[in-house]
Structures are given as structure tokens and as C-alpha cells.
Amino acid sequence: MTRLRLLGAVLLLAALAAAGAAATWFSAPVDAATGTIVVSASGFEASPVLGALVLVLGAGLAALLLVHGALARVVTGVMVLAALSLVVAGVLAWRDPHAALASAAAQATGVAQVSGAVTTTVWPVAFLVVGVLLTLTVAGLLAVPASAARGARYERDARGSHTPADDWDSLSRGQDPTA
């Protein structure tokens, strides 16, 4: 797979991860003064760090379009850590839905306690699947050379020092010095 296709796949998977984190993950009934109400929490509410990690992945994608070589490897390494952190944060939020719902219940009723069983939607699982795929895809970027995305015309001449006299000499030989 080419580097550009992997970057496109990372963009798509990061967008899917953001959409999965924005969806409702948990809901539960809460006793209020006016009766029982249902509170819910999205992935971003369950684990606020998810938004920051998605932004790190987006910034990393933008940086990878601009850099290559050792710096691209460093950026890709940071992106792998961000994708792994995304999965870990998702697992931690999924394992403790009461913390997210307690915050939502406190905002809705002033009491940070749910009164019934917590209902978990399919979104945490979908988010984790996308997060694992995202981590593997970003790690796949390490296997593709960063120079594969650029042509030789963008690289500096490896002959050493280049002077204006060299341009005139190439013109005298009938060669185009800009090619």
C-alpha cells in the first residue's frame, strides 16, 4: 500500500473515531425532584481526552504532508502513541460508565448518582474496533519509506556545492539547468 493511501486511511479512521466518540455511549435513569429522567454520556463526555487525541492525530496528518525523513518518523511515532492512547482511554471509559453518568446526573439533577441499570450502546465497541484499526494503520506508516511520497525533483542536488557558474556551464552544453 502506498504512503498516500495509508494517510487517506488514517484520515478516514480518525474521522470515524471522532464520530464514534461523539455518539451516545451510556445512558441510565436518575431520580430527580420532578420524577425519573434518563441521562446519557457520549464518548467525549466519558473520556474528555479523546477529543485531544483525535486533534493530535489530525495535526500529525498535516505534519506528515509537509515533512519527510527522520522528522516524519518522529511524527509517525507520536501518532502511534496517540492512537494507542485513544484505545486505552476508550477501554478505561468503557469499563467505568458510572463515572461519566455521575457527571451527567450531577449536571441534570444536582445529585451525582444513577438510580437504575446502566445501558451501554454499541458505540464503545465500534470506537474500540476503529481505534485498533487506526493504531495498526498508523503503525503501517512506519513500514513505508517517507521518501516514497516525493519525487526526485523535490530533493536537493547531491553533487555538493552548486554555483551560478555551473548553471552557465550547463547552458553552454545545451542543457536546461532548471530541470
Based on its alpha-carbon atoms, the radius of gyration of the chain, rounded to whole angstroms, reads 25
| H-helix segments, the chain | 3-22, 43-46, 49-66, 70-95, 97-109, 123-143, 164-172
**What pTM was estimated for this model as a whole?**
0.77
pLDDT of the residue at 151: 53
Q: Please state the domain extents for the chain.
A: 3-150
What letter would DSSP give residue 161? -
Please write the tens of the pLDDT for every residue from 138-166: 999 988 875 544 555 555 555 556 777 88
pLDDT of the residue at 156: 54
Please write the tens of the pLDDT for every residue from 23-75: 999 999 888 888 888 889 999 999 999 999 999 999 999 999 898 888 999 99
* C-beta separation of 101 from 39 below 8 A: yes
Query: Phi, psi at residue 174, to the nearest 5°?
Result: 90, 15
